[in-house]
Amino acid sequence: MKGVVVAVNLELKARISSRKQIERIALSFARRKLVLKQTDTYFRIKNGRLKLRVINKKSAELIFYLRNEDTKRRWSAYEVYPLHSPKKMKEMLSNALGVLIEVKKERTLWMYKNARIHIDKVALLGDFIEFEVMVVKGKTQAIHLYKELVIRFGIRENQMIAESYSDLLLRAARQMHKLHRN
C-alpha cells in the first residue's frame, strides 16, 4: 500500500525530573526537528494497539502496533497509515470498536543516527523521554545505539517504564475511580 510504513524498532520510555537538563544533553549530539502537539485516540482491540494520532491539528495517521508490554526495553512492530480524513476515521472506529482512552502530549522530536528521541510533556502524567531506535542496520546495531542513548542521557533502571502513556492514564483513572467510591 502506498504511504503505509511497516517497521520494527527498539523502544524505551523513562520519567525525567528535569526537561531542561535532558534537552541540553540532546542538543549536545542530536538535531532537533520539530515540536509537535499530538492527540492519540486509542481504540479497544483484542490484540496489539490501534491509535489515531492527530498532529498539530493538521495531519493524522492510523498506527497499529504489537509489542511486549512486560519489559522496559521493548521491541515493537508497527504499521503507520497516513490519513486525510481523521474526523471521519475517528467517528467510524469509535462506533465500531469503542474508544479506550485519549492521550494528549507535547512532543519535542530529536534525531540521532537511526533513532527518534522524544521529549514529551504528557497531560496529567508529566515529563518523559522516549527512544525509538529503528532497526535499519540489524538488531545488534539497534541494541548498541539504544545502550548508547541510555548512557548519554544517564537513564537509570528505576526511571524506565514498561507501560504506555495510555496504560498509565488508565491506571490513574482507575485509582481516581476507587478513591471516589470510598
- Give the pLDDT confidence score for residue 176 in this predicted structure: 81
Residue 43: is its pLDDT beyond 90? yes
C-alpha 84/C-alpha 78 separation (Å) is 20
Instruction: Judge contact between 105 and 91, C-beta under 8 A.
Output: no
- State pLDDT tens for residues 131-161: 999 999 999 999 999 999 999 999 999 999 9
Residues 71-120: pLDDT tens digits? Answer: 788 899 999 999 988 999 999 999 999 999 999 999 999 999 999 999 99
> What span, in angstroms and rounded, lies between the C-alpha atoms of 133 and 38?
20
- In order of their start, the domains of the chain are 5-181 (2.40.320.10)
Q: In this structure, what DSSP letter does residue 4 have?
A: -
Q: What is the predicted pLDDT for the residue at 120? A: 98
* Cell 503505509, residue located: 4
Cα(146)–Cα(152) distance, integer angstroms: 10
Q: For residue 178, what pLDDT is reported?
A: 74
C-alpha cell at 31: 538535531
